[in-house]
Structure 1
Amino acid sequence: MSDRALRIGLLVESNEQLNQLRQLVGESGHQAACSLIASELDSLREGLDKLEVDAWLVTLAFDREEFQTFEELCDETSDQQQRLLDVEAWLAHLKVPVMIDDGLQSSPRHQEYQAWRRRILQKLEQLQGSINLAQLPQGAAQHIWVLAASTGGPEAVREFFQALDADLNIGFIYVQHMDSGYEQSLADIVNRHSHYPANPVIHGDVIHSGQTLIVANDHCVEFLANGTLMIKDEAWPGNYSPSIDQVFANVARSFGRRCGVIVFSGMGEDGAAGARMVHLQGGSVWVQSPHCCTIDSMPLATKATQVVSNEGTPSELATQLTNFIRRQDRNPSTV
């Protein structure tokens, strides 16, 4: 089970819905921790309070036409109507997220079943992100540095990680110009040479100390001040994907003096404009020395902004970053 998996409680009207939702929960990478039919709720309520559940998925038709208002519902006496009242009262006291769907399209025989299935699956896949976005996640990194590169970048970043101390209180974001679908391959390369495990970004990821998140090129990513990442349903602006300028500007706006960026080997000028924003917000801008780059265009363009405070070979940058972070940790007032 992935360490991103959540424990999902299911509350439904029928066994058919239960089977459908268990399958969708599994497909989304989560775990069905509790499965209930609505008619069982009253008899099992005391035990539910002891369950370790991260979120509930409820498929009940609260908005059926015959139940227009709460008052009208209270006037009814049928068992089904009373169950809905009981469920509403129970849901109101839950302290974990609740996703509610009427379940009217949950049968495979329904003409809208496939659309319903996609909708539920999307909600489940984004659930971890929604939880993280609503709170200050535990373990969010204090220091956040962006590693930016294009042509020749993977070799330079590999050398950087090989020389970097293993126990720094820092989280990395790796932005590499590349084709779609190569994020996991890039993560595998990093993981063979780094103490900072790499994974492609997913919606709601937290930038933890001791890890590396790899930004994909097909969807724009936003960074929030609480250390979480939000994947937007839109392409990166400009001529580059992913856009290093956009990532730099976003990180600078969200993290200010807590962030830094290193521009490694690459073609073009992506990152130069964003580097100014990082500098203006109090962050650090470093570059790989142009003389040791496969392609020196990106570091040279960033140096031309006159905001670069440090340069060196990838190994030298790793040593300098180790010393820089340790100094900041000894004197937190400088962050």
Structure 2
Amino acid sequence: MPEQPIVGLIHIGEHQPSAQFLTKQLESTGYSVKQYDSDEIAAMDLSIQTFILNLFDNDLNIDELIHHLNEREVKIIFNDARISNELVGWNKNRWLRHVLHKIDQSHELLPESAGNADVNSSSVDLSQHGIQAVWILAASIGGPESLLKFLSEFEGDEPLLFLIVQHMDSEFVSMMEKQLNKNGQIGVKLGQAGDDLLPGQAILVPVDEDLIIHANGTLGVKNINPNRMTTPCIDDVCFDMLENLNKVNMAVFSGMASDGIVGATNVFENGGKVITQSAESCVVSAIAEEIRVLNMSLFDGEPAAMAQYIKESLIA
């Protein structure tokens, strides 16, 4: 088995939370990380080709360190820890992808290592994290109102993980997260790299990243498909989740688009359940109607009835 590539992480000042977050993500994507303080020049591994300098104390003199690294012609990435400590959500995802992309310019997505090939494989088993079923909740026009009614029907302790794919522009993400949390039963959180996946939780899929699930039950992010039709893209989310998990399910709510038809087909053909919101309870029923025409919907009803169907499927 090939050895894992090594990245050096040098702390300029106190060790910071963002550095430990970055270390965790590097390790989850197949890298080995060796950490040093700025005065440990003599102890640094001479085989490391890439070093991240995590800058927190700007008063420390690091001239000798920079000279030492330059002499060895290694790649140096400077990270402002005071800024990265404060990043959350989409900005934190973007920062992570930017750093990882610099480490290996040949990768368009999050770097992978042959030494850790199962990180994003279909063998991810979420049952060990208390999650029995994953449901992709797909929605567009009229979706937020339907999703609120749907989520409010749960107790919040069901062994379910929801992934919400709501068509929207990036400026509405924060507002959407707050609005959907008004359901009062299921916590809704914007998907962020490093988050632990928990039962009774709903992850709002970001607009500007695609999500992956690591074998340790945490979220990762990767670059979006540049040819996607919508933001976020239902079809792409279905494809990504089926690459990570053996099976996912899909509930289709109010919406007007063709995005979601291919995704529903993939879910259905891989043995997952597909259910739809009834036409009379939708603002627009274009996506759900196409799925009904294709005879893929196992249940059709208003949002509260859809929630009841999912709860009963757990008992069954």
Structure with the higher helix share, 1 or 2: 1
C-alpha contact 1:150 1:266 (8 A) present in aligned 2: yes
Q: Partners of 1:261 and 1:178 in 2: how far apart?
A: 19
Q: Partners of 1:238 and 1:125 in 2: how far apart?
A: 21
In structure 2, relative to structure 1, the CA distance for the partners of 1:262 and 1:269 (3 Å cut) is: same
Does the alignment pair 1:117 with 2:79? yes
Q: Partners of 1:164 and 1:105 in 2: how far apart?
A: 45
The aligned amino acid for 1:322 is K
Equivalent in the alignment of 1:199? 189
Q: Partners of 1:247 and 1:196 in 2: how far apart?
A: 21
Residue of 133, 152, 155 corresponding to 2:145: 155
Q: Partners of 2:165 and 2:269 in 1: how far apart?
A: 21
The aligned amino acid for 1:218 is D
Question: Alpha-carbon deviation of 1:230?
Answer: 2.3
Equivalent in the alignment of 2:305? 316
In structure 2, relative to structure 1, the CA distance for the partners of 1:301 and 1:123 (3 Å cut) is: closer
C-alpha contact 2:206 2:232 (8 A) present in aligned 1: yes
Question: Alpha-carbon deviation of 1:178?
Answer: 0.5
The aligned amino acid for 1:195 is Q
Residue of 13, 18, 36 corresponding to 1:58: 36
Does the alignment pair 1:248 with 2:210? no
C-alpha contact 2:209 2:222 (8 A) present in aligned 1: yes
C-alpha contact 1:149 1:265 (8 A) present in aligned 2: yes
Deviates more, 1:232-241 or 1:294-303: 232-241
Question: Alpha-carbon deviation of 1:59?
Answer: 4.1
Structure 1: which 5+ residue stretches go unaligned? 1-9, 31-54, 63-79, 89-99, 328-335
Deviates more, 1:308-317 or 1:234-243: 234-243
Mapping for residues 152-301 of structure 1, pairs under 5 Å: 152-224=142-214, 227-235=217-225, 237-257=227-247, 259-301=248-290
In structure 2, relative to structure 1, the CA distance for the partners of 1:317 and 1:126 (3 Å cut) is: farther
Residue of 41, 46, 51 corresponding to 1:101: 51
Structure 2: which 5+ residue stretches go unaligned? 1-8, 22-32, 71-75, 85-94, 101-109
Q: Partners of 2:219 and 2:133 in 1: how far apart?
A: 15
Q: Partners of 1:104 and 1:316 in 2: how far apart?
A: 51
Question: Alpha-carbon deviation of 1:193?
Answer: 1.1
Q: Partners of 1:195 and 1:177 in 2: how far apart?
A: 22
Question: Alpha-carbon deviation of 1:180?
Answer: 0.2
Equivalent in the alignment of 2:135? 145
In structure 2, relative to structure 1, the CA distance for the partners of 1:160 and 1:255 (3 Å cut) is: same
Mapping for residues 323-334 of structure 1, pairs under 5 Å: 323-327=312-316
Q: Which structure has the bigger radius of gyration? A: 1
Question: Alpha-carbon deviation of 1:224?
Answer: 4.7
The aligned amino acid for 2:189 is N
Question: Alpha-carbon deviation of 1:262?
Answer: 0.3
Question: Alpha-carbon deviation of 1:191?
Answer: 1.8
Aligned-residue CA RMSD (Å): 4.2
Q: Partners of 2:54 and 2:158 in 1: how far apart?
A: 52
* TM-score normalised per structure 2: 0.66
C-alpha contact 1:267 1:298 (8 A) present in aligned 2: yes
Q: Partners of 1:185 and 1:179 in 2: how far apart?
A: 11
C-alpha contact 2:55 2:80 (8 A) present in aligned 1: no
The aligned amino acid for 1:170 is L
Q: Deviations over 1:212-250 (max 9, x none)?
A: 110011122234565443211334532111110111222
Q: Partners of 1:209 and 1:217 in 2: how far apart?
A: 23
The aligned amino acid for 2:79 is R
Q: Deviations over 1:170-191 (max 9, x none)?
A: 1110010001032232222222
2:13 alignment partner, SS class: helix
- Identity score, percent: 24
In structure 2, relative to structure 1, the CA distance for the partners of 1:154 and 1:230 (3 Å cut) is: same
* TM-score normalised per structure 1: 0.63
C-alpha contact 2:150 2:303 (8 A) present in aligned 1: yes
Q: Partners of 1:123 and 1:180 in 2: how far apart?
A: 18
